[in-house]
Amino acid sequence: KNQVEQSPQSLIILEGKNCTLQCNYTVSPFSNLRWYKQDTGRGPVSLTIMTFSENTKSNGRYTATLDADTKQSSLHITASQLSDSASYICVVNRMDSSYKLIFGSGTRLLVRP
């Protein structure tokens, strides 16, 4: 079954601290993996997109890693800010005729002052 599992489900950190969010997937065949940030009451916004051959990609203070062999990805947030409080959703694109996007349930991050 094609699944995307994220952990932790929720996380609280202090402003300025770093954190890492995890994503494990069983989607096959695999095309690409995306991390989205979703602020409360808003639609998801893309942070990074990685293909099979890429194992790291950065977007400012966000760095995503991908291990296609173990089917794991992580999103590292450096020097967190209050505005980082949001849900972070891992999405895997299945590479077949349907080209479906498989969404994880997200990690809800709260950054406290």
Q: Which residues of the chain form contacts with another protein (CB under 8 A)?
A: 4, 31-32, 34, 41-46, 49, 89, 91, 93, 98-101, 103-106, 108
Residue closer to another protein by CB (options 19, 44) is 44
A 10 A CB-CB count for 92 gives 25
CB 22 within 8 A of CB 72: yes
Q: Which two tokens stand for residue 11?
A: 């996380």
> What distance in Å separates the CA atoms of residue 64 and residue 76, rounded to the nearest whole number?
6
CB 66 within 8 A of CB 48: no
Q: Which two tokens stand for residue 2?
A: 């094609």
Residue closer to another protein by CB (options 79, 110) is 110
Q: Least distance in Å: CB of 16 to another protein?
A: 27
Residue closer to another protein by CB (options 42, 61) is 42
Q: Least distance in Å: CB of 102 to another protein?
A: 9
Q: Least distance in Å: CB of 42 to another protein?
A: 5
